[in-house]
Amino acid sequence: MNRINKLLAEKDNILSIYFTAGYPSFDDTRTVVKSLQDNGADLIEIGVPFSDPIADGPTIQYTNTIALENGMTVENLFQQLVDVREDVEVPLIMMSSLNPILQYGFEEFCKKCKEVGVDGLIIPDLPVEEYIAEYKTIVEGYGLRNVILITPASTDDRIRLIDDNTDAFIYMVSSSAITGTNTKFASDFSAFASRLEQMKLKNPRITGFGISDKESFDKVCETSKGGIIGSAFVKALKDSKDVAKSIGDFMVQFKN
């Protein structure tokens, strides 16, 4: 069974953490992944840095800039993930804009993901219709799970199309905002969550955007399978002299 599906079957209140590969330093990728697992992350999203991010706010845009300046590329990232499964068991998802994947070669990217032990993809700017027509067969052929985003602006028909073409979880964007900037989290999220509950979708939802601490994480877990923290986490790594310690200090709030 794919590790993502196994996790979804076994656990609620899933804590997913996003970080940008190559940030704060080029060689930090393995340290970040291992330290996140050791400090309680259930699922890890590895961000491929890109110069023109789609929905990222200033915090994650900054980490993209630094990572690219540090020399991070798709090929370098795959090299860093070789043998990652020797000491990491939690599911890993590669999150990337479509352009770097196309530049690398879509099928080759999926093949490399399978080789190093990545379990799924999040490609925010790949429309579901294009995914179904051009890429779904490739993704599924390598045993990967493609996680697709929905927002409060998504129509019911579109949400159902995504649900029908997903075999993991749906990435529920808490509000119509970029990452790290949502100031109306509670009201926006509650209305959207209520709407989705009534739709009776077959796939569980994990919520991202606007989740920064234990309080907001617990809030989204009331009506979804878990929560995703990105901007608040990478902010905690800024200017860190000891990445593993900084991760432990950040993650301690989520330990019961």
Residues annotated catalytic, as ranges: 45, 56
Query: How far is it, in rounded angstroms, from Cα 17 to Cα 146?
Result: 17
User: Which among 102, 84, 87, 77 is positioned nearest to 19, based on CA atoms?
Assistant: 77
Distances (CA, A) of 221 to 127, 172, 205, 243: 27, 12, 10, 28
Residue type for 177, please?
Answer: A
| Placement of tokens 């996003």 in the chain | 18
3-state DSSP assignment of residue 171: strand
Query: How far is it, in rounded angstroms, from Cα 22 to Cα 29?
Result: 6
| Beta carbons within 10 angstroms of residue 134's beta carbon | 11
Task: Give residues with Cβ within 8 angstroms of 204, minimum separation 6.
Answer: 8, 169, 170, 224, 225
